[in-house]
Amino acid sequence: MRAVGYTLQTAVADLIDNSISADATGVDIFFGIEPVPYVALVDDGEGMSPEGAISAMRLAGTSPMRIRNPNDLGRFGLGLKTASLSQCRDLVLVSKRDGVLCGFEWNIDHMIERQTWSLLVLTEEELQALPRFNELAARTSGTLVIWRNLDRLAATVGDLEASFDAAMMDVKSHLALVFHRFLSGEHGKSFRISLNRSPVQGADPFLASTKATQLGTF
């Protein structure tokens, strides 16, 4: 399951799909190496109730047969888990909805130790100790996804301390391209993405806003 073919770029993009489906106005992505290397994504979407978050952590927890909203970019109920676990051994999902906060964790090493699919339920104290928890706490609703123990990333880029920045700059370029229509507000409302507080500017491959471009009709 960890080897279904994601790259760091496509894995991050899959999480952003979920934020767009949750009606978020934007996603703030953070990465760092303190206290341990992590990638964190916070959105201001509708968030999930504790039951919703448990179901979100379940593999194929959302049926492909379910009628979805037209803006829902999901399909198989897998992306959050497969994208995340393709990059890390420790996935934390924290969500806030109707003022209720909840947090759950799939930790592969814990599961190996227990020899079972044992989902960790985080206490309020544990939530507060999470990287970037304050970003979510400050919002009325939203979702924070954290990846830690980035073994796959470390295996592809080598020493994280030296290569994390460059790997995340590649992510930024990828997001600028694949989400350019969302970033420019083409879908009726604009969508923001930032990376360590630096805004991602959309990169339109068709150069539509360039003077020399003539827009054709087909």
Ligand X SMILES: Nc1ncnc2c1ncn2[C@@H]1O[C@H](COP(=O)(O)OP(=O)(O)O)[C@@H](O)[C@H]1O
84 touches ligand X by CB under 6 A: no
92 touches ligand X by CB under 6 A: no
Q: Strand 38-43 and strand 120-121: pairing?
A: unpaired
Q: Give the whole-angstrom CA distance, residue 210 versus residue 204.
A: 10
As measured in angstroms, the least distance from the Cβ of 35 to Mg ion is 29
Q: Give the whole-angstrom CA distance, residue 194 versus residue 109.
A: 31
User: Which residue's entry shows tokens 């491959």?
Assistant: 205
Interface size with Mg ion, residues (CB under 5 A): 3
Q: Give the whole-angstrom CA distance, residue 20 versus residue 29.
A: 14
Q: Which of residues 109-148 bind ligand X (CB under 6 A)?
A: 143
Between residues 82 and 107, which has the closer beta carbon with respect to ligand X? 82
Interface size with ligand X, residues (CB under 6 A): 19
With CB under 5 to 8 Å by kind, the binding choice for 87 among Mg ion, ligand X, none is: none
Query: Angle between the 8-21 and 160-178 helix axes, to the nearest 10 degrees?
Result: 50
**Chosen residue from 7, 12, 13, 18 binding Mg ion by CB under 5 A:** 18
Instruction: Convert 37-70 to b/e letters by CB count within 10 Å (16 or more is b).
Output: bbbbbbbbbbbbeeebbbebbeeeebeeeeeeee
74 touches Mg ion by CB under 5 A: yes
Which two three-digit tokens encode residue 160? 């994280």
φ and ψ of 46, to 5 deg: -70, -15
143 touches Mg ion by CB under 5 A: no
Nearest residue to ligand X by CB is 74
Q: Which of residues 24-83 bind ligand X (CB under 6 A)?
A: 43, 45, 47-48, 56, 61-62, 74-81
User: Cα–Cα distances in Å, from 166 out to 54, 89, 200?
Assistant: 34, 21, 15
With CB under 5 to 8 Å by kind, the binding choice for 32 among ligand X, Mg ion, none is: none
Nearest residue to Mg ion by CB is 79
**Chosen residue from 79, 103, 142, 202 binding Mg ion by CB under 5 A:** 79
Q: What is the DSSP string of 146-163?
A: EEES-HHHHHHH--HHHH
19 touches ligand X by CB under 6 A: yes
In the chain, count of helices (H) and strands (E)?
9, 8
96 touches ligand X by CB under 6 A: no
Site for Mg ion, rule CB under 5 A: 18, 74, 79
Site for ligand X, rule CB under 6 A: 18-19, 22, 43, 45, 47-48, 56, 61-62, 74-81, 143
